[in-house]
Structure 1
Amino acid sequence: MAWIKTVPYAESTGRLRQLYDRVKGPGDNVDNILMAHSLRPHTLEGHMAIYKYVLHHSANRVPKWFLETIGVWVSLLNRCSYCVDHHFAGLRRLLGDDARAQAIRGALDTGRIEEAPLAPREHLALRYAERLTRDPAGVAREMVEELRRAGYEDGEILEINQVTAYFSYANRTVLGLGCTTDGDVLGLSPNNSDNPEDWSHK
């Protein structure tokens, strides 16, 4: 599951058990990316707070399925199959159109994102995410102004930025600690967006 020691749900106690109870899915399942934090529960708490607020908050205006698309794209760029597998499953569920989801995935897999069945401004957002992931210092003001001209409000640009940044963090957590999807249930997420304190995976 990871290259470092992790504490499974059945062996957890104290603060770690409390946090596990907040994030667990069916059958007391805790995703391996979260279990990787088990020796330092405070970092699990920090990870979940930013994940919930960035990707699963009711105040977001960018559709959640497209935020998941950004996550899959960033994870592909970082070659993080763990996050690709998890979040593509979430994307498919949220989109509710398997053929379209597969077409999006095919375009992302090949890097030809303009071929994805997305709006032009969504293609632009993915290009911004690509530059931010591959060459953060190469992001220029003009790229943000392009997003604005394409119809994104500044708060939506912030959402795109934060989801891109979060996935680079998550990818490095997974890749740097050797997390696998063994035992995980793919596609679960804290879907109660109206309650930022509800972290349960359903």
Structure 2
Amino acid sequence: MSWIKTVPFEQATGRLRKLYDRVTGPNNNVDNIMMVHSLRPHSMEGHMAIYKTVLHHSGNTVPKWFLEVLGVWVSSLNRCGYCVEHHFSGLQRLLRDTPRGDAIRAAIEARRVEEAPLDTAQIAAMHYARKLTEEPGAMVEADVIALRDAGWEDGEILEINQVCAYFSYANRTVLGLGCSTDGDVLGLSPNNSDDPEDWGHT
């Protein structure tokens, strides 16, 4: 499950139990990426809040399935299999086009995202995500201008940036603490985008 101690759902009390109750999926399942925070519940609360607002908020205008594509891409670049598997499953559920999802994943794994079945603006976002993930110190204003020229509005560019930044954080949480998918239910997500406080996973 992880390289540090975690508190299982059945043993959780107090604030931790309240947080677990908010993030559980079917059969009281708590994803290991959340459970790894169990010794410091306040960090779980912070993690979940940014995850929900960055990826699952009604204020976003970039399609949620494409935000998941960016998450899978960043996670693949960071070699975080945990996040790749979780968010590829979520991507497939949202996209509802298995062959297209498989083709996107094949392009990601081959590191040839320009061959993915995505439009020109989305391909530009994938290039931005790669540079931000692999060479953050090399980012320049021209990288944002390229997104704008591809058709993204500045608010959408912010969404793209925040999803890339969130996944690098999540990847490092998982990789640095040895978090595995053992016992997890892949592909669940908080579907109530209208309520930032509703963290329930289905």
TM superposition score category, shorter chain reference: over 0.9
Unaligned runs of 5+ in 2: none
Structure 1 segment 28-177 matched on structure 2, within 5 A? 28-177=28-177
Structure 1 residues 179-198: Cα deviation after superposition (integer angstroms, max 9, x where no partner): 00000000001111011110
State the distance in 2 between where 1:9 and 1:41 align. Answer: 13
Runs of 4+ in 1 over 2 A off after TM superposition: none
State the distance in 1 between where 2:147 and 2:135 align. Answer: 18
Unaligned runs of 5+ in 1: none
State the distance in 2 between where 1:13 and 1:40 align. Answer: 13
State the distance in 1 between where 2:201 and 2:184 align. Answer: 11
Q: SS in structure 1 opposite 2:201?
A: coil
Structure 1 residues 85-109: Cα deviation after superposition (integer angstroms, max 9, x where no partner): 0000000000000000000000000
State the distance in 1 between where 2:80 and 2:150 align. Answer: 30
Letter in 2 for 1:95: L
The aligned residue for residue 12 of structure 1 is: 12
- TM-score, normalized by length of structure 2? 0.99
The aligned residue for residue 184 of structure 2 is: 184
State the distance in 2 between where 1:61 and 1:76 align. Answer: 24
State the distance in 2 between where 1:46 and 1:99 align. Answer: 35
Please state if 1:24 is matched with 2:24.
yes
- The Cα RMSD (Å) is 0.4
State the distance in 1 between where 2:2 and 2:151 align. Answer: 42
Higher mean displacement: 57-66 or 142-151: 142-151
Shift of 1:149: 1.1
- TM-score, normalized by length of structure 1? 0.99
State the distance in 2 between where 1:172 and 1:201 align. Answer: 22
Please state if 1:193 is matched with 2:197.
no
Q: SS in structure 2 opposite 1:163?
A: helix
Shift of 1:150: 1.1
